[in-house]
Every structure is written in C-alpha cells, then in structure tokens.
Amino acid sequence: MDQVVEGMWLVPGGSSNWVIVKDPGSSSFTLIDGGYPADYGRLLGSMRQIGLRPQDCRVALVTHGHVDHIGGLQKFATEFGGPVLCHADEVRNLVGPQREQVTIGRIVPRLWRGRVRSWLRTALSLKALEPVSITPAGVFHDGETLHVPGSPTVFHFPGHTSGASAFLFDTAGQRLLVSGDIAITAHETLPDQTPRLRILPSMFHRDRTQAQASLDQLMALQPDVVLPGHGPTLRLTGSDVADRRA
Ligand SMILES: [Zn+2]
Ligand SMILES: [Zn+2]
C-alpha cells in the first residue's frame, strides 16, 4: 500500500489498483475502483489497515467498467450500500453482461507468449469470469468537480472504453491524477516492467488509436503524480513527460 500524500493511498490488488482518499475533516472517504471479484477481502483489509470503516465510504467512483476494476466493488456496494458513480458512456459496461472488454478470441492468438499465459492464469484465479453487474446510482460528466472527499475533477478520456475517466486531485499543492487504464505504468503482459506511463497492449482497448490520443491529452494536464490502474505510482519530472513516447 502506497501512501502517496497525506490522506491518499494507492492500493495494489491481485493485478490492478484501487485508490482511497480520506476527507481531512472526518472519517469519510472516497473509493476509486475496487479490483477483481477475488480482491474483495483485500479491499476491505486495505480500509481497515488505514483505520477506516467500510461503512464510512461516501462514494465509489469508477474509472471504467472492466471486471478487474469493478469486481470487488459489486460486493462492496451490496454489503455497505455506498453509491457507485461512473461516466454516462460507461454505464453499460458496469451493468453488463456485454461489455467492452478483451475477448477470448483476442487472447487466444497471443497465448504463445508466456507473459500472456501468466496474466490469464492470474486473472482467472482472481475470478475474472465471475458475473459482475453494478447499476450505478448516478453519473458524472467531463469537467465536473465532485463534492466528495478529495473534491476531484473528472476528465473523460475515451478509447480504452467509451466512458473511461480520470480524476484530478489538487492536494497539498500537487496535481494528483488517478488514471485508471487510460495511463498505466506496468502490466504483466508487457515485456518491459520498468515503470513508465503508457497504454496497455492493443487487445485491451475498444479503440487503440483513441486510447493513445487520450494518453497524450491526459499528459497535457501536467500531473505531478499519476496513480495508475496497473503498476506503481509515478512521480513525474519534466524529462518523464518529454520521454513518454520513448
Ligand atoms: Zn481496463
Ligand atoms: Zn485494468
């Protein structure tokens, strides 16, 4: 678990991350994403480790409706009743069962790569095939600042999925960007595990070209720190930004 700044944590699950942002004046908090279905115990454990009670979750924000980001949230919302919000264009990915997600037909031709087989084994062990459906309590819009702990501003960056969104926090003079799968720093299927900002391999995107354009637009926000959907937190320097296409 990475405490990025006072009151904000990036938590690595079995394969993907979630983020917890505590309200400075109370015990309530914002949760962003929630791992695979089998991450649920880890999700609750991460709150308790920080000293937060699951029932004090004010809202769960969703970067996008892939099973590695909403699997744990379904159980969480059912048990604790916290409202789940997503972008209007992402609602059908949360509800399912059809969603803009990598298909077995796109995975099979790549199974000759050991790292793809290894990722698939991990995903299945985290119950990637368990049925997941969340009906969001509401939607947010591009440019909206949400009145929830941390007061993030929403940025809609389609491409990975139709309604993929990032959340920008202005905390202690730093611009902290929770990027979901719009910008990741590492992933089991990538040959180079050195953390740097990039998009996932093409099989994971609804529209790879749009996903690349969205990464460029996200970088134009000039975040100081990126908390990605996969891989560790990245603190950016000027050269990181210049080298991001390298
Ligand atoms: Zn995804
Ligand atoms: Zn993901």
- pLDDT 10s digits, 9-60: 999 999 999 999 999 999 999 999 999 999 999 999 999 999 999 999 999 9
Domain 2-242 listed as CATH 3.40.50.300: no
- From ligand 2's centre to the CA of 119, what distance in Å? 12
Neighbours of ion ligand 1 (CB under 5 A): 66, 181
The pLDDT of residue 246:
41
- Give the DSSP H or E segment for 17: strand 17-22
Ligand with minimal distance to 36 CA: 2
Q: 231 near 184, Cβ under 8 Å?
A: yes
Domain spans, the chain: 2-242
- Rounded distance between C-alpha atoms, residue 84 and residue 45, angstroms: 20
- From ligand 1's centre to the CA of 187, what distance in Å? 11
- Rounded distance between C-alpha atoms, residue 225 and residue 185, angstroms: 12
- From ligand 1's centre to the CA of 246, what distance in Å? 23
- From ligand 2's centre to the CA of 185, what distance in Å? 11
Residue 240 above 70 pLDDT?
Answer: no
Ligand with minimal distance to 39 CA: 2
What region does 180 belong to: left with phi over 0, alpha with psi -120 to 50, or beta?
left
Residue 245 above 90 pLDDT?
Answer: no
- From ligand 1's centre to the CA of 26, what distance in Å? 32
Q: Which residues make Cβ contacts (< 8 Å) with residue 178, sequence separation at least 6? A: 19, 32, 63, 152, 166, 167, 168, 169, 227
Determine phi and psi for 59, rounding to 5 degrees. -160, 150
Closest residue by Cα to residue 94 from 111, 69, 76 = 69
| 140 bridge partner residues | 87
At 126-153, the pLDDT tens digits run 999 999 999 999 999 999 999 999 999 9
- Rounded distance between C-alpha atoms, residue 105 and residue 92, angstroms: 21
- From ligand 1's centre to the CA of 85, what distance in Å? 17
- From ligand 1's centre to the CA of 229, what distance in Å? 8
At 208-233, the pLDDT tens digits run 999 999 999 999 999 999 999 999 99
- Rounded distance between C-alpha atoms, residue 242 and residue 171, angstroms: 24
- From ligand 2's centre to the CA of 188, what distance in Å? 11
Secondary structure (3-state) at 236: coil
End-to-end CA distance of the chain: 29
- From ligand 1's centre to the CA of 166, what distance in Å? 12
- From ligand 1's centre to the CA of 204, what distance in Å? 7
Q: 54 near 76, Cβ under 8 Å?
A: yes
At 91-133, the pLDDT tens digits run 999 999 999 999 888 898 998 999 999 999 999 999 999 999 9
At 167-200, the pLDDT tens digits run 999 998 999 999 999 999 999 999 999 999 999 9
- Read out DSSP for 173-232? TEEEEEEETTSBS--TT-S--S---BPPPGGG-S-HHHHHHHHHHHHTT--SEEEESSS-
Q: How many residues does the chain have?
A: 246
